[in-house]
Amino acid sequence: MNANKLSDRLQTVASFVKPNSRIADIGSDHAYLPVFLARNEQIQFAIAGEVAKGPHENATHEILQQDVKNLVSSRLGNGLDVVTAEDQINTISIAGMGGTLISQILERGKNKLQGVSNLILQPNVGENGVRKWLMQNNYRITAERILKEDHHIYEIIVAENKPAPTYSEKELLFGPKLLQILPNAIFQEKWLAELQRIKNAIAQMKQAQVIPKKRISKLKHKADLIKEVLDFED
């Protein structure tokens, strides 16, 4: 993967960036996404934000090498600290992190979200926590995608700054938009694997000297939701 040929995962993220956006890509991985967007004349301006010096230097190098320094700014800072009001950012992308960390970045940087109408998020795990944060902070989920790449399954969540409905427990777990595209082979693969993981975990817990009944009950409830959505019977 490079800035000229993105992975399927980042290509999908890029497809949700609206024309002429001003985007901050947090945790930018060599600035591949913002550089790609700049080279394809899809954006007005981009920030490639990194919290560590090494990745920041990699992003800076890529921006200079691809000759897009007039459109893409490499910045070192924690989360949304790299964004200023003068940047007039209207889109934020965060890809390749855990859902808890993505939610923490958004929560910590709430004061930087004024004027941000679009969020494009790709959590590696913990998607339900991201959806819950969006619901609680007036971001309506407008699109979701699920894809498989290099033996990993990823979900991409797109949200706009509009009053959000109260999502059900099932919608928070599986995704309100993903539930609308069933049946889907990748979705089924992901949740069948999770169902098996839950079964294995419960079997191990039952062998413990002190059986964690509340934890087992919670896992059984999740398993029931999965079976209901997949229309699956043991």
Give CA–CA dist 80/128, Å, rounded: 22
* Residue pLDDT, tens place only, 29-62: 899 999 999 999 999 999 999 999 999 999 999 9
Percent of the chain with pLDDT over 90: 94
* Residue pLDDT, tens place only, 129-182: 999 999 999 999 999 999 999 999 999 999 999 999 999 999 999 999 999 999
The reported pLDDT for the residue numbered 1 is 65
* Residue pLDDT, tens place only, 199-217: 999 999 999 889 899 999 9
Helices (H) and strands (E) counted in the chain, each on its own, are 8, 7
| SS3 of residue 4 by DSSP | coil
- Superfamily designation of domain 8-166: Vaccinia Virus protein VP39 (3.40.50.150)
Burial tier of 160 (Cβ tally within 10 Å: 0-12, 13-18, 19+): middle
Residue type at position 47: I
Give CA–CA dist 57/184, Å, rounded: 40
The reported pLDDT for the residue numbered 29 is 87
The reported pLDDT for the residue numbered 5 is 84
The pTM for the full model equals 0.95
Position 4 pLDDT exceeds 80: no
Where do the domains of the chain lie?
8-166, 185-230
Confidence of residue 232 (pLDDT cuts 50, 70, 90): confident
| SS3 of residue 140 by DSSP | strand
- The residues near 173 (Cβ < 8 Å, ≥ 6 apart) are 128, 222, 225
